[in-house]
Structure 1
Amino acid sequence: MAFYWLLCLFIYLFSHHISPTVQGEIEYVCVDIYKQPAFQHPSMKNHQIQMRPSVEFQAMLSMEPETSDMITSSKSEERCPKGQVPIHKPQSNYTNNFIHPETTITAANLHYAIIKTFDNSTERFGGAQAVFSIYKPRVLKNQFSKAWVWLNHREKDMISSIQFGWAVHTGLYRDDRPRLTTFSVGSKHQNGCYNALCPGGYVQVHKTIYPGMVYDKVSVVGKKQHDVHLLVGQDSKTKSWLLMTRKTLIGYWPSHMYSMEGASQIYFGGYTEGPTGAISPPMGAGTFPREVNRIDNLASFMKQLKSFQDKSLVDINCHSFEEYVDSPKCYDVWYREFELGSGEMLTFGGPGGVCGMV
């Protein structure tokens, strides 16, 4: 009997010791920087990796304040050895039934609470940034809820789109934690591609911060807010579209794969999806933004909304954007425009439910 209990204790202690390792193994793999998925495409054969922004691009960021939390995850140490980068492993061979950015806004199972440039706008944007508050909406199987920025462009019949922010996405990830997430549509990937999953797509360069990593500090309405700065901008020298947090380069989309000369549309806000006909998930903090309107009790927010125009990073023009909500009974957005200390700002969210269309 004593041997039995000792054996049980040994099994418990051993399994307790290895479980974090097993969990860690499913999150990402370290791969040679030149053997990551992006390089499994003929067009990338002679591609030279861009390890840092050009001097010209860095100059545009030099005046930006360091006001938000740095991007965080469950571990802050370098994840991979020298010469290797972390690549998130999806929970399955995930495919996305993507609808082009110009038509998703009318899909019955997709819901938006956003601000967007006017449809007849002729402006061109070289990128955008935002500081996102991080929440953990309750998302069920085959649902997602995102705090999101879209950079869209159409050239004749070709759609290009780079999208970024945080997402709780149970189709892509093994759990319901908020994670840094990107999505892109380009000449070689007209069905779209998440994170670093596609040949010829996104190139990962940072050894610690990567699409798919977890944000382990989550905001609570009325209490401490945890936020993160994310930016995507086109480097004027290399023409690549850089994903950054403040002045740190995370990775990029090569210019020959995403060759749009400026985005013609920008959206900022919240975005959810669930199976057609099912209950839609919460968005943001799960609260309507106008129900939590005190400055120290903010619902899910995006602030310091800026865009790249004329080789400068500037506050977005409030007269160039309009609010759009497809299901007001489930979600809402409040474009609060300029607020001292926060810049151009919006709050968004809602409880979800049986949403339908307007």
Structure 2
Amino acid sequence: MLTFVDLVRWLFILMSLTHEELVEGKRIWNVVNKSIIKTIKVETNEIIDCYDIYRQPSLNHPLFCNHTIQREPNSYPKGMKSDNFGTSQLTQTWHKYGLCPEGTIPIRRKGKNYDPTLLRKHRPLKLSPYKTNVTSPEDVNGGHEHEYAIIEVEGNFLGAQAKINLWQPVTEIYNEMSISQIWVSAGPDDNVNTIEAGWQVSRKLHGDDYTRFFIYWTNDGYKTGCYDLFCDGFVHISSTIALGCNFTEVSTFNGRQKDATFSIYKDQSSGHWWVQLQGISIGYYPSFLFKELSKRATQVIWGGEITNWKSKGQHTSTQMGSGHFPSEGGLKTSSYFNWVKVVNKNYTAEDPENVGIHVSNPDCYGLKIDDDNYETNGYGFYYGGPGYNDKCQ
């Protein structure tokens, strides 16, 4: 029979193995989690957990049984930009508070603002304002619209790339978001497969208005799928770049410009779809996650997206890109995509051809191909706008 002293001793041992931590208003129990090698607390109340790369959560996906992690791409498309990746060395704010050791990956811990209903995204169906029938206290019109200023090409592709200007657009309400990204997709609208990468501002998803690196995927027309590592699927490789974390620097109006090169391409050997940022291999989506994207993409889209909830009974003032139209001026005024490339069926990067330009609401947001700076910036365009204005009601 245990004495009182023995009982106290065992309780002390148990408490040393199990501790409770209050993070962003949530109580988190950490019971000798051997997957997490290191934890980094960031000033903004963010927490970065450094997971053993071989024990990362995505490997819990049932399709990953006996999967061998690919630590680096086996191939790289010919002619894809491999230098001049951006205007400065890429850093994320959490780097100032520590780094993850080699052999681990940084994962931003879910906080009190985590909302699983935001795991679903939307494709620019028919490339026009897309109505989503959901209800919300802010939703006075019974739904919200996704609006776009984008270019797109159709054909057979093995990847895409672009250097995207980094800004911090203002969103009008908590529910709204502003995104600049690349879509690589295949399949019909109701069952589309897509891989997406870029930057976004979303207070509801992240709890603040910082400009954050994101990826997204779906294999069933957005019925399932998710951002970043909110669900299993993406195999994270990099120990230096965290998904869902903010960039240290963004562009300023009429001032210094910041940009970063985003790439999505298919490994010719393994078939996996790799995501790169500034030439850093972040990780990959295994080809076996997809049906339509298992062999190739049939559509690539580049550009901006916002959500419009019309919370005041009028068009939102949520900004796209820099918040300024291309007609207001180019560099330092409007936001841009430079070095826009597709990877063709011969695994060679080239300029897009037969490009379609689609702006869902030209009075609110715009897009203009940049024909004047091809020699220095490659194929590119300016895009964005302020949302609500005298013409945009």
Q: CA deviation at 1:64?
A: 3.1
C-alpha distance in structure 2 between counterparts of 1:166 and 1:186, whole Å: 21
Which of these residues, 193, 196, 206, is aligned with residue 229 of structure 2? 196
Residue by residue over 1:162-217, the C-alpha shift from the partner in whole angstroms, topping out at 9 and shown as x without a partner, is 11111011121121010111111125974221011112x11111011122121121
Deviation of 1:234 after TM superposition, in Å, equals 0.5
TM-score (norm 2): 0.76
For residues 79-128 of structure 1, the C-alpha deviation after alignment (integer angstroms, 9 at most, x for no partner) is: 323432111234313323434553574414111011112xxx4x111111
- Deviation at 1:27? 4.0
Q: CA deviation at 1:152?
A: 1.4
Map of 1:284-299 to 2, 5 A cutoff? Answer: 284-293=321-330, 296-299=331-334
Sequence identity, in percent?
Answer: 27
Q: Distance in 2 between matches of 1:198 and 1:356?
A: 41
Contact 2:192–2:222 (CA<8 Å) still a contact in 1?
no
Q: Name the CA distance, whole Å, in 2 between partners of 1:67 and 1:249.
A: 13
Quote the residue 1:262 is aligned against: 296
Change (3 A) 1:286 1:81: same
- Return the alpha-carbon distance in structure 1 between the equivalents of residues 279 and 325 of structure 2: 33
Tell me the alpha carbon deviations over residues 25-73 of structure 1, each in whole angstroms, 9 at most, x when there is no partner: 534322222332311211112111111111x32x636763325133321
Corresponding residue for 2:256?
Answer: 224
Change (3 A) 1:328 1:246: same
CA distance in 2, matches of 1:148, 1:63: 17
The secondary structure found in structure 2 opposite 1:34 is: helix
Which of 276, 285, 294 lines up with 1:244 in the alignment?
Answer: 276
| Secondary structure of residue in 2 paired with 1:297 | coil
Structure 1 residue 271 and structure 2 residue 300: aligned?
no
For the residues of structure 2 that align with 1:62 and 1:111, how far apart are their CA atoms? 30
Equivalent residue number for residue 14 of structure 1: none
Please say which structure displays the higher CA radius of gyration.
Answer: 2
In the alignment, the residues of structure 1 paired with residue 163 and residue 92 of structure 2 have an alpha-carbon distance, to the nearest angstrom, of: 16
Matched, 1:60 2:78: yes
For 2:320, the equivalent position in structure 1 comes to: 283
2:384 maps to amino acid: G
Alignment equivalent of 1:85, drawn from 82, 105, 108: 105
Distance in 2 separating the partners of 1:40 and 1:72: 29
For normalisation by structure 1, the TM-score amounts to 0.83
Residues 156 and 23 of structure 1: is their aligned pair in 2 closer, same or farther, counting only changes over 3 Å? closer
The 2-side partners of 1:271 and 1:92 are apart by 21
Give the counterpart of 1:31 among 39, 48, 51.
51
Q: Please say if residues 193 and 221 of structure 2, whose CA atoms lie closer than 8 Å, have aligned partners that are also in contact.
A: no
271-280 or 324-333: which moved more? 271-280
Q: Does 1:346 align with 2:381?
A: yes
Q: Say whether 1:72 aligns with 2:109.
A: no
1:184 aligned residue = 217
- Could you tell me which runs of 5 or more consecutive residues in structure 1 were left unpaired when the two chains were aligned: 1-19
Displacement after TM superposition at 1:256 (Å): 0.5
Give distance in 1, aligned partners of 2:107 and 2:185. 25
Task: Answer whether contact 1:327 1:356 (CA < 8 A) is retained.
Answer: no
Q: SS state of the match for residue 225, structure 2?
A: strand
Q: Is the 8 A contact 1:37 1:197 kept in 2?
A: no
Alpha-carbon shift at residue 138 of structure 1 (Å): 0.9
- Distance, in Å, in 1 between the alignment partners of 2:190 and 2:255 is 47
Alpha-carbon distance in 2 for matches of 1:156, 1:351: 29
User: What's the counterpart of residue 21 of structure 2?
Assistant: none
**Residues 1:304 and 2:350 are matched in the alignment:** no
Change (3 A) 1:258 1:333: same
Measured in 1, the distance between the counterparts of 2:100 and 2:164 equals: 27
Once structures 1 and 2 are overlaid, which stretch shifts more, 97-106 or 340-349? 97-106
> What code does the residue aligned with 1:113 have?
A
Spell out, residue by residue over 1:195-245, the C-alpha distance to the aligned partner (whole angstroms, 9 max, x if none). 11112x111110111221211211112211011111010111111110112
Q: Which residue identity is paired with 2:114?
A: S
Aligned partners of 2:41 and 2:47 also within 8 Å: no
Q: Take 2:100 and 2:122, find their aligned partners in 1: how far apart are those partners? A: 35
Aligned length: 328
Equivalent in the alignment of 2:10: none
Partner of 1:137: 169
Structure 2: which 5+ runs fail to align? 1-39, 132-144
Change over 3 Å in CA distance of 1:160–1:170 after alignment to 2? same
Q: Is the 8 A contact 1:204 1:210 kept in 2?
A: no
Q: After TM superposition, give the deviation of residue 129 of structure 1 in Å.
A: 0.6
Is structure 2 residue 67 aligned with structure 1 residue 51? no
1:284 is paired with a residue whose SS is: coil
Change (3 A) 1:203 1:103: farther
Q: Do 1:142 and 1:274's aligned partners in 2 also have CA atoms closer than 8 Å?
A: no
The 1:145/1:356 distance shift into structure 2, 3 A limit, reads: farther
